[in-house]
Amino acid sequence: MIPGEEIRKKADQYRDYTVANLARLVQTRSYSGQEKEAAELTEQLLREAGVTDLRIDGLGNVIARVGTGEKILAIDGHIDTVEVGDPAQWQRDPFCGTVEGDYLHGRGASDQKGGVASMITAARILQEMNYDGEYSVVFTFTVMEEDCDGLCWRYLIEKENLKPDFAVSTEPTSLGLYRGQRGRMEMELFFTGVSAHGSAPERGVNAAYKAARAAVAIGEFNERLEPDRDRFLGKGTVVVSQVHAHGPSQCAVPDQARLYLDRRLTWGETMESAIAEIQDLCGEDLKEVRVPEYTRPSWKGTVHAQELYFPTWKTPENHRIVQAGVHAWEALYGEKPRVDKWTFSTNGVAIAGYHEVPCIGLGPGDEDQAHAPNERIRISDLPRAAAFYATLPWVLNEG
C-alpha cells in the first residue's frame, strides 16, 4: 500500500525545516566549479536528516542512498548556480535567503536549490519510515550543471558505475511532471581571408565579410527550422552568440573570423545533422566547424572532458516511470499532474540522452526564475515536491 497520506503529513510537518535548509543553501555561494562549501553543507544536512550511506565522489558530487534494494531510483538536483550578473538589478542581497510571504529569495532558490532542499526532506522522511523497498533511492547532489549540463552524470555513470534503472530531475517545473527537453550543442565556425592594408581593401579577402554572410544566412535558417513530428518538444533554434574578427592591425583587412553558435536540437536532430546544415549554408566561405570541448576542473580538481553536445531526450508518456509519477501525484493530491517538457536543458541530457536511462522531472519553483535577477521560489511548492520524491519509490515497488 502506498503511504501517501502519511508522507504528505510528514512533508507538511517539515515545511519550516525544508525552508531553513534552503535558506542556508542559498546563503552558501556555489558557482560552477566552486561548490566545495555547498557540497559540505549538503553532506552535513543529510547526516542531520539521518542518512548514513553517504559520500562525495571524485568529481565532487554528493551521493546519498536510502534502502538496500538492488534496483535504483536516482533523484537528482544540482547544487551549483550561475553568477549574479549586474548587482544593480537585484532588489535584495542575491545570497540573502530571505523569506517574505510565500517566497524565499536569492540566487539558486528556484534553479535549483529548492529541489535540493526538498530532496533532503524526502531522504529524512524515507529514513524515518525505515524505507527498504525493491528500489533503493539514490539522491545525487551534483556539480557543474550550469557550466556543462550532464557532465556530472556522465562522470557518475562512466566513472562511478552508478547507472540507475530510473531517474528524476528536480529542476523547476512549477510542480508539473516533465518528460523531455530539446538537446543543445555549441559550435565554433572559422573563416579565413587574406590580409591587406586598410587603405586598399580590394587587395585582400575579408574574413569578417565571410562571417557576416554566414551570420545572416544562419539567422534566416533559424526561421525555417521545423518542430518535431509530434510537436511535443517544439522547433529547434540556432543563434549566433559571439562574433569575432581580427587581422594584423586595426588598419588591415581581417584575415581571421569566428562565429560562435548556440544550437537547440529538437527530436530527430543530431550533432551530425546540425553540422551538415551549417556546412551547406556557409559553403566555401567556411574553413572549419568545431564542437568545443569542456575541460574545466571541478572543485576537487578533477577533469572529465566532453564535447559541448547535449542530446535531445524524451520519455514516452505511457512509459512506466511517467505513469508512476502520475500515480504518485494522484496518491498524494487526488489529481493528475500537468505533463509537459522543459524549455531549457538539464542533466537529463546525460542520464537519458547519452545513457538512455528513463527519466522524468518534477521540481519546485518556476523555469522563468532560472538565471533571472531577483530569483525566488514559492515556499508552498517545497513540501509538495518533497512528498512526491518520497512517494515515488513506493509506487514503483507496487509494480
Report, as residue numbers or ranges, the catalytic residues.
Answer: 80, 145
What would you report as the CA-atom Rg of the chain, rounded to the nearest whole angstrom? 23
Q: 137 has which bridge partners? A: 66, 73
Tell me which residue of 257, 231, 253, 254 sits closest to 242, measured CA to CA. 257
* Three-class DSSP category at 189: strand
Rounded-to-integer distance, Cα 161 and Cα 127, Å: 24
Q: Which residues contact 57 (CB under 8 A, 6 or more apart)?
A: 63, 155, 156, 159, 160
What own/partner pairs with CB < 8 Å and gap ≥ 24 does 232-236 have? 232/180, 232/267, 232/314, 232/341, 233/180, 233/181, 233/182, 233/266, 233/267, 233/312, 233/314, 233/341, 234/182, 234/266, 235/266, 236/182, 236/263, 236/264, 236/265, 236/266, 236/269
Q: Which residues contact 30 (CB under 8 A, 6 or more apart)?
A: 37, 38, 79, 80, 81, 108
Burial of 214 (0-12, 13-18, 19+ CB in 10 A): buried
Residue with cell 512528498: 387
The 10 Å Cβ neighbour count of residue 124 is 25
Residue with cell 505511457: 318
Rounded-to-integer distance, Cα 96 and Cα 85, Å: 16
